[in-house]
Chains A and B, each alone.
Chain A
Amino acid sequence: AQSVTQLGSHVSVSEGALVLLRCNYSSSVPPYLFWYVQYPNQGLQLLLKYTSAATLVKGINGFEAEFKKSETSFHLTKPSAHMSDAAEYFCAVTTYSGSARQLTFGSGTQLTVLP
């Protein structure tokens, strides 16, 4: 079964520093991959998605992710962190049960941005 692994349950960066959140997927076939963000007391919001059109995917709020098949990775980056980026980030992969499609999420990474 397809799954994703997020390395690091907590990441802290200083404001203005590079943000790097790691995600590895387990599949021999390039899947559909997503990054979602969850702000405190809110639902999950789509940051970006990979659908095989391009390996470098740009999302909202200055985030981007690069799909690397050779490394089975889909790491999320942002050049300069902002205080408002503090949230929990989830990597997710499309999985199928017969013809039914669902998302399987990683365990999440809590991002803290230090002033």
Chain B
Amino acid sequence: DSGVTQTPKHLITATGQRVTLRCSPRSGDLSVYWYQQSLDQGLQFLIQYYNGEERAKGNILERFSAQQFPDLHSELNLSSLELGDSALYFCASSVPSSPGQDTGELFFGEGSRLTVL
């Protein structure tokens, strides 16, 4: 058990719809990352938050957005869903490290599997 909790585990919806995926990071972790895993694209970094603020953006579509709340949980919002958005969405969190000791280790949740029909 990594300590990172993601809900829901499975989600089936229709094209054009909107869904929200939720992530609770490990206790004490300030950084939250979102990744998308699909068969054709592999593991793609979407976005990172640190203590409520957006830190880095990867290959995140404009139809997707995220935020991190004061209690450090994060939500990934996916709108105007298309068939190609079907994937496993992972949240990961990391331990805030002392300056000069950043090793980049991430702790992953079990993912939310989104199926768009």
CB within 8 Å of B: which residues of A? 32, 34, 36, 41-46, 49, 51, 90, 94, 97-108
Contact partner of B105 among A42, A46, A104, CB < 8 A?
A46
B111 proximity list for chain A (CB < 8 A) = 43
Which of chain A's residues has its CB closest to B107's CB? A46
Chain A contact surface mostly: strand
Q: B104–A100 contact, CB under 8 A?
A: no
In the complex, how many angstroms separate the beta carbon of A106 from the nearest chain B beta carbon? Answer: 8
Q: B105–A43 contact, CB under 8 A?
A: no
Q: B42–A97 contact, CB under 8 A?
A: no
Type the 1/0 row for B78-117, where 1 means its CB is closer than 8 Å to any CB of A.
Answer: 0000000000001010000000001111111111000000
| Residue of A51, A103, A105 with most chain B CB atoms under a 10 A cut-off | A103
Residue B11 at the chain A interface, CB threshold 8 Å: no
Q: B104–A45 contact, CB under 8 A?
A: no
A46 proximity list for chain B (CB < 8 A) = 105-107
B65 proximity list for chain A (CB < 8 A) = none
Contact partner of A100 among B2, B42, B56, B90, CB < 8 A?
B56
Type the 1/0 row for B43-83, where 1 means its CB is closer than 8 Å to any CB of A.
Answer: 10100101000011110000000000000000000000000
Q: A43-B111, A108-B43 are in contact. Are A49 and B103 (CB under 8 A)?
A: yes
Given contacts A32-B104, A43-B111, A46-B105, 8 further A-B contacts (CB under 8 A): A43-B2, A45-B2, A97-B56, A98-B56, A100-B56, A102-B48, A102-B58, A108-B43
In the complex, how many angstroms separate the beta carbon of A93 from the nearest chain B beta carbon? Answer: 8
Q: A49-B103, A100-B50, A101-B104 are in contact. Are A43 and B90 (CB under 8 A)?
A: yes
A108 proximity list for chain B (CB < 8 A) = 42-43
Q: A102–B103 contact, CB under 8 A?
A: no
In the complex, how many angstroms separate the beta carbon of A108 from the nearest chain B beta carbon? Answer: 6
A32 proximity list for chain B (CB < 8 A) = 102-104
Which of chain A's residues has its CB closest to B2's CB? A43
A97 proximity list for chain B (CB < 8 A) = 56-57
Which of chain B's residues has its CB closest to A51's CB? B103
Q: A100-B50, A102-B48 are in contact. Are A42 and B56 (CB under 8 A)?
A: no
Q: A43-B4, A102-B56 are in contact. Are A34 and B104 (CB under 8 A)?
A: yes
